[in-house]
Structure 1
Amino acid sequence: MPANPKYLNPSFWPRFSKITAAILGGYFVSVSFHLALASWFSRPEVLITTAFTGFILWVVLMILAFLAKSGWKVWGIYILLTLFFSLLIYLGQNYNPTA
């Protein structure tokens, strides 16, 4: 049974933005989130759990990117989250250098 045409994106750019937001944007958010945790908490424990929780978070972010109506909005949200977590990484390295 073929897919309903109203749910398909006919042009290239909406599909491209969703796919890249899902793969790259989700990865950037996942990695920056775990690095922010590692800059504030014990690094070895956080980096060990990143092997499992990082993949799970990345998959969840991929699914959310495909559920959204606009891939560009998802990109905007993922870039803002990545910048926020990068700020937390910066602050964690300056104010908590021994973690």
Structure 2
Amino acid sequence: MPANPKYLNPSFWPRFSKITAAILGGYFVSVTFHLALAAWFSRKDILITMAFSGFILWVALMIIAFLAKSGWKIWGVYILLSLLFCLFIYLGQTYNTAQ
């Protein structure tokens, strides 16, 4: 049974934005999240754990990207999350090196 055409998106850009948000955006959020944790907690333990939990988080973020209505909105959310985690990385490195 073929898919209902009203649910298919024939346009290139919305599909492209969802695919790139899922792959690249999810990866950036996953990596910056774990690096932010490593800036505040035991670096060795977090980076070893990242080999497994990073992949699980990345897959979860991929699924969320494809469930979103708009690829551009999910790109915005992923960029904001990455920037927030980058701020936590900066603050963690600044605070932990001052002590």
What range is the shorter-chain TM-score in?
over 0.9
Runs of 5+ consecutive residues of structure 1 not aligned to the other structure = none
Cα deviation code 1:41-76 (max 9, x no counterpart): 000000000000000000000000000010000000
Runs of 5+ consecutive residues of structure 2 not aligned to the other structure = none
RMSD: 1.0
Q: How do 1:47-86 residues align onto structure 2 when only pairs under 5 Å count? A: 47-86=47-86
Range 12-21 or range 89-98, more displaced: 89-98
| Percent sequence identity over aligned pairs | 82
Cα distance, 1:80 vs. partner? 0.2
TM-score using structure 1 length: 0.96
**Structure 1 segments of 4+ aligned residues over 4 angstroms from their partners:** none
Cα distance, 1:35 vs. partner? 0.1
Cα distance, 1:97 vs. partner? 2.7
Q: How do 1:1-99 residues align onto structure 2 when only pairs under 5 Å count? A: 1-97=1-97
* Residue type at the aligned position of 2:14: P
TM-score using structure 2 length: 0.96
* Residue type at the aligned position of 2:17: S
